[in-house]
Structures are given as C-alpha cells and as structure tokens.
Structure 1
Amino acid sequence: MAPVDIEDVWNMLGFGRMQLAVFFTCCVLQMYITNEQLGLSVILVASACELKIDNERMGWLIACVFFAQVLFGHFFGYLSDKIGRLKVLLSTTIMTILSSFLSAFMPEYWSFLVLRCIVGIFITGIAVTLLTYLSEFISIALRPKVHNFVNYAIGVSMIYVPVVALILMYSKIHVHVWENYAITNWRVLILVNLLPGIIGVCLLYRIPESPKYYLSVHKHAEAMAVLEKCCRANKGKNVTLASLGVEKVTQPRLSDYEIQHN
C-alpha cells in the first residue's frame, strides 16, 4: 500500500483530544515566555534600590538579555531539527525555570545580570520551537486559527503579571535572612511568574514528540506510534490507523529513497 501524506492523516483525525492537549500545553508555555519578558521590566523597577540598579545598569541588563535571545535563536532552531522539538522544549523550559528561580535569590547586581542572561538564552529555545511543534499536530486548514488562539496567552500574561505585581507591591513582604539580605516583594514576584512554566513542564511529560520530526529523521515506526496514539485519543480506542486505510505515512519533503527505506 502506498504511503499516505501525513497532512491527509491529520485531516482524517481532525482536531481532537490530542490536539487539545498539545494546544493547551503550548498556551501555558507561551504565557510563561511573556511572564519572563514582561515581568522583567516590573522586577527591575522594584529591585532598583536593593540591587543598586541605576539607568546605565538597567540599560545594560535589558540589552544583554535581548542580545542573548537574538544570538541563540538560530542555534535552538537547528537543535530542534537535530534532537527533536519535545526535547528542546522540555530541556530549555527546565533550564529557564531553574535560572530564573536562582536569579530571585541573588544578593547583588552582577550575579543577577548573569542569571537573567541565562534566562534569555534558554527562553529563546521555547520561543523558537513552540509554534513549530504545535503546527506539526494540526492540519494546514486549521493552523492559522490555532496559532491565533495560542497568542491569546500573551494577553492573559499581560493581565496576570501586572495584577500579581500590584498585589505584591502593596504587600509588605520582608523576610530577613542575614545582614542586609531579605526576601522581598520583587523576589516573590519572580517566583510567582514561574507558575505557568512549572505547569508547562508537567504537561510536556504527557504529550508525544512530533511525528513530522520522526519522519524527518527516518524514524517511521516512532512516527506511526505517535499517530496511532493520536488516532485512539481522537477517534476512540477501537479505531486504528489501519482501519482508516493508513499503513504507512510520508511527508512531501521525503525522497523516494527515504520512503522505501522506512
């Protein structure tokens, strides 16, 4: 039987439970990206006195963070093609959360700057991989609408961050640790902004790698296994790809040699 184009398979499977799971995970991660980027501006103002951040230091910190994002964008794009979308999303989200968490406890400016630059590096991996991963589970006809709805997570974050900041800035949080060091409002704000990222990591463990990625690295069996899982999630446990007339899948950019050897 001739291989079926994977786009035709997505048309057969529709937008079901698997797509909803991937969509919700990507929405949460998109919210986390915006939390880190938008939240930094609030955090810098709130921490200015404690970390002795003047206008020059603030400018350097923002410039370094965004320079890190620009510098590593192409690298993470390449890496997602090399090792897989899910591995890049999972590893970079964990590293972003860890470095952001540590930055909340830095006692002075320079250590804070280094860790926020590390946040800028790894958050780029989430940003450049997220929509690619989502797209590879959605039929061509639905992709523009789904991408549009994912971007609503940015709006949710733009409400979440200011509301949480407003609540925390009016709260008298001051937990003395030693000498002049204390846990204050802005440190707690960094930790609260991590919540969508932590939820996103938990959700990433529940969803599969992109079948299109598997096809691109000639792992036909793994791609079929993911599609079978999607089929059962969307159509019911008794429905299989074979029952829909799908024995093998391909995608347009695979050569005839690759199709035959998969």
Structure 2
Amino acid sequence: MYTKKKPATSVSWAGSDVLIEVHQLDSDAEIDDETMEGLDFLESQGEDFERALESTGFGRFHYALLTLCGLIYLNTAVAITIISFVLPSATCDFQMTSSDKGWLTAAPMLGMLLGSYFWGCLADTKGRKVVLIGALIMDGLCGILSSVAQTYILFLILRFINGFAITGAMGICFPYLGEFQPVKHRETILCWMEIFWTIGVIVLPGIAWIVIPLEFEIIMPSFKYASWNLFVTVCSIPSILIGMWLLFFPESPKFLLECGEADEALEVLRNMYSINTGKSPDTFPVHSLREKVRTMSVVSQNSTRSVRSLRIRKPKELKLLLQEIWEQTKALCKPPYLRYTVLTCLIQFGLTSSYFTLMIWFPELFYRFEEFESLHPGQSASVCDVSSIVIGGNSTDVEYCGEPIGDEVYLHTLIIGLACIPTSLWLPLCVHRFGAKFFLVFSLLVAGGVTMGLYFVDSSSTNLILSCIFEALTSLAISTVYCVMVDLFPTQLRVMAAALSLTFGRAGALIGNLVFGFLIDLHCVVPIALFAFMLVGSGLLCFKLPSTGQGALD
C-alpha cells in the first residue's frame, strides 16, 4: 500500500464526444498498487488540456486576444524608448550633461531590473490578468505624473517607476497569450507579436514629430509645460486604456487549472468556444475538466487559492506567497530547468543591453550628426568624432543646447521603424520552416557585425543604414526569445523564468546605458565594441537551445 501525500487525479476520455471527468482524492488517502499505477500513467499524459483547448476552435476570440496582447507589446515599445526623444528636447529645461542623460536613460532600466522578477512572481502566484492590469495602470499614471515634473530628480524617479511597471506588462503578455493557443497555432501567433513591436517603433517617432515641434508652452512662476511634456502625456494614456480593456478578457485557463479552479477554467473554454463558433456555450463538447497532478511544491498546492488576490490581508498569506516564490525560484535553479535558465539569462543580458542602449541613444546620435553637418557642411566624420566635436566645441558649463530637433532626426527614426517591417513579416511566415532557433542565431550574429560597423560610419546616411539593420535584427531577436521561452518552461514556472531572464536583461540595459552615457564623449569605441561582442556571444549561446514549438504546452 502507498500513501499519496498530494491530491490525486483520475481522468477518462470519452470518444468523439469529449468528456474529461475527475475524482479528487483526499490528500492522506491510501492508494493501492493498481490505483498508483493508474495515477503514474495519468501523470505522464499531457494531452487532456490541449484537446479541450483545441475543441474551442480558432477564431474571433484568438484574434481579439492577439490584438490586445499586441497593443500591450506595442505600448511597451513606446514606453521603453520614449526617453530617446525626451533627451534632446529636455536638455535645456533640465540642464543635462551627457552624464545626466546616461542616468536618465538608465533609470527606467533600473526600474525594469527591480520590477521584472517582482511582477513575474506575482503573475505565477496570483494570475496573469490581474497583474497585467496593475502594471499597465501604474505605468500610465506615473507617466502622466512625470509629464508635469518640474525638476530633473523628480522626472528621473517617475521614469524609474515607469520602467518598474512596464516590465511587468512586457514579461507577462507573451505567456498570457500563449496559454490560450492550441499547439499548432501557438508559435506562429506568438511570432506575430513582433509586428506590433515594429508598429510601436514606427508610431513613436510619428507622435514625436507631430507633438514636439508644436509651438506650445505654458509658463507660470514655478511651472512650465512645453510640447515635449505633452508628448510624454500622450504616450502615457494608452497604458490606462489598454488596462481597462483587459478587464473584459478572462484569466488564463491553464493558470486556473494549475490553481485547481477547474470549473472557472472550463467556463473560460466554453466562452472561447462560443465566441469562435457563434454557438451556445452549452454545446461545448467538454463537460467536465480537471488537470493532471500538479508537479509543484506542497506549499503551492496548499496556498495557491489564498494568494490569488492582489491584497495580502494576513501575515500568513504573505508568508505563503514568499514560500511559493522561493520554491519556484529553487525549481528554476535545479535540473531539468537549470540549463535553460542559465542560457536564457545570458542571452537576454547580451541582447537586451545592446538593443535598449543603442535604440535609446540613436535619436541623440542623429541629433549630433545633424548639428555637426550644419556646423561643418561638406565634411565627414565618425560617430566618435561627431560627438567630440559637437560637445567639445561648446564652451558653456551645460552641454550643447541649440535649436529644437530637426525634421531629419524624426524622419531617420521613422525610417528605422519602417525597416523592421520585412523581418516582422518574415518571422511568423517562415518560423515553421526554419525554426525559432535559426532566427535567433542569424539575427544576433549579423547584428553583432553591424554594431561593430557603427564605428566606421562617416556620415548620417551610412549611420542610418546600419541603424536600420541593427533595429530590424535585434527587435526580431527580442520577440523570438519570448516565443522560445513559452515552450521551454512549464506553466507554473513560465512567467517567473521569463522574469528572471528579463532581470538579467534589464541589468545589462542599465549597465549599458550608464557605460554609453559616460563613454560616448570620451572613448566611444569601447561601448560599441563591447555591445558587438555581447551580441555575437548571445548568438553563439543560442546554438545550445533546443528546437521549440512542436511540443504541448505543459
């Protein structure tokens, strides 16, 4: 005789008329040898939920969900890179040096560094939907407050909070979307998210081009609100609107099953079926649904329901939450997940540090090229020479503070976004033919070579060409990493694994922005060579990743 110390589950599947029935045994119930063999067999089966999910069909619900998650991802592209247009515009208002700009670009990255694991832990214990809503609302409100900040320090703090909030939405939207998708559509649907990031990269300079050049200014004795402040406000409002729209979408049915809330999960599947087919939810062929035995800690099984609310009402609930986070963290750091955890963290560090640093500083570099070419018409110079001449030629204590950003800077940044469209379409259309691993290796290795090439550019036009290639390939890699991670880890560890890798990525972005801000005017070849090395290193590490997209979502 055996004593089963965790809940046991039995399942039956009834022919074409799908029927999944469950009998939950008492946690201390004695189980004979025959029953134990049956349970061991059932625990090895992972198709029951997938079959029920496939029974919902594929249609309007999935397209609406893709639109929602795509807008979240688009919004993160805007929120993360908004500083790139604030830097030139706010230089005079905040009297910023290159060092000050480095700290300002690093502040959101520091927020992301601290927020990534925080939001991931919450999402894996309290649910994807409620955490997404909280992160989006926080980002929107803090963004609006930052738009009226009157001092550099206050603006810096609020942008730090923006980074803390938006990283939650960025890390959770992929697992949330993926857990609603049948296996045969999952990888393709997740790859379509890249097009939304591209749209965000295109939309941001478009909004900046419309708003920042406006001759708009409100001046009071202790208050100033200019066009760049309005730009920050406009870019903050979508977070609140998307968070409100998310209220009308359900929690992930896979997460609900992992929490033992099978009736709620079944209701979600019924509604999906009704929206996709136009039929009554009562005609959904699955009549009863329970998940296989959960392979998490005893703490998780006993406490999941008690921590589903965002509010911690009792010390015991906080203790259970911290225990759950600790158990899941230990699971990520032990076989069989340790190898994938280390790989994804290192890849994210190299990729994210290079991408977010250079993308945030590209408009500033375009601005410096424009100023150099206006001061020295007909002459050519490298990025490093341009920075030293433009900044070094300014005799004031505050670094160059000249005319507003020219139209050419907005146009160049817009062209960079448009250059991403071909790769954004190439990924979802060809991912099944080449595999996500191919796209990761190809994009990272080529992007590394392009980054090194930035040192040799001698004009704004060649700088633009290389910048377009860099953005197209690195943004492709960013999205592909998220797609791969959905399949690398099981449901109860998925968001936390993504959050841990994002934490390493944000640490790299924080260090990268600080290094770039301090060295761009002194030894700019050092950060350029460093980022090229990290991109190539990340590409080589991708060879160690397994092929994904074929297995069921655990």
TM-score using structure 1 length:
0.90
Q: Distance in 2 between matches of 1:194 and 1:208?
A: 25
In 2, distance between residues paired with 1:239 and 1:75?
37
The aligned counterpart of 2:430 is: none
Aligned residue number for residue 285 of structure 2? 244
Change (3 A) 1:154 1:251: farther
2:83 equivalent among 37, 40, 51: 40
Residue 255 of structure 2 corresponds to which residue in structure 1? 213
Change (3 A) 1:14 1:114: same
Q: Which residue of 1 aligns with 2:143?
A: 100
Aligned equivalent of 2:236, options 180, 183, 194: 194
Contact 1:174 1:184 in 2 (8 A): yes
Distance 2:275 2:136 in 1: 26
Matched residue type, 2:167: T
Note the alpha carbon deviations across 1:155-179, whole angstroms, 9 max, x for none: 1111111111112232101122x21
Task: Identify the residue that residue 9 of structure 1 maps to in structure 2.
Answer: 52
User: Which range is displaced more, 98-107 or 43-52?
Assistant: 43-52
Report the equivalent of 2:118.
75
The residue aligned with 2:267 is 225
Runs (4 or more) in structure 1 with deviation over 6 Å come to none
Answer whether contact 2:56 2:276 (CA < 8 A) is retained: yes
**Structure-2 separation of matches of 1:246 and 1:43:** 55
Whether 1:158 and 2:158 are equivalent positions in the alignment is no
Once the two structures are superposed, what CA deviation does each residue of 1:191-217 show, in whole Å capped at 9, x if it has no partner? 121243233122101101111111111
Q: Distance in 2 between matches of 1:116 and 1:245?
A: 47
Q: CA shift at 1:239, angstroms?
A: 4.8
Which structure has the higher relative contact order (CA within 8 Å, separation 6+)?
1
User: 1:123 & 1:157 partners in 2: Cα distance?
Assistant: 14
**What do residues 226-261 of structure 1 show as CA deviations (whole Å, max 9, x unaligned)?**
1111121112232536x5244214258569xx8xxx
Q: Quick one: which amino acid aligns to residue 291 of structure 2?
A: T
- Cα separation, 1, equivalents of 2:258 and 2:65: 20
Matched, 1:235 2:280: no
Q: Which residue does the alignment assign to 1:28?
A: 71
The one-letter code of the counterpart of 1:247 is: S
2 CA distance for matches of 1:168 and 1:64?
Answer: 24
Q: Is the 8 A contact 1:231 1:240 kept in 2?
A: no
Unaligned runs of 5+ in 2: 1-10, 13-19, 21-46, 302-554
Deviates more, 1:112-121 or 1:45-54: 45-54
Alpha-carbon separation, structure 2, partners of 1:14 and 1:91 = 30
In 1, Cα distance between equivalents of 2:293 and 2:58: 22
Residue type matched to 1:103 in 2? S
Bigger CA radius of gyration: 2
Alpha-carbon separation, structure 1, partners of 2:287 and 2:88: 57
Of residues 139-148 and 66-75 in structure 1, the stretch that sits farther from structure 2 once superposed is: 66-75
Unaligned runs of 5+ in 1: none
Which residue number in structure 1 is paired with residue 158 of structure 2?
A: 115
Cα distance in 2 for residues equivalent to 1:76 and 1:65: 15
Match of 1:66 in 2: 109
Residue-by-residue CA offset, 1:96-146 (whole Å, 9 max, x unaligned): 101111000000100000000000111111011110100011112211111
The residue aligned with 1:179 is: 221
Q: Secondary structure at the match of 1:182?
A: strand
Q: Is the 8 A contact 1:89 1:126 kept in 2?
A: yes
Query: Alpha carbons of 1:68 and 1:133: their partners in 2 closer, same or farther (altered >3 Å)?
Result: same
Aligned residues: 255
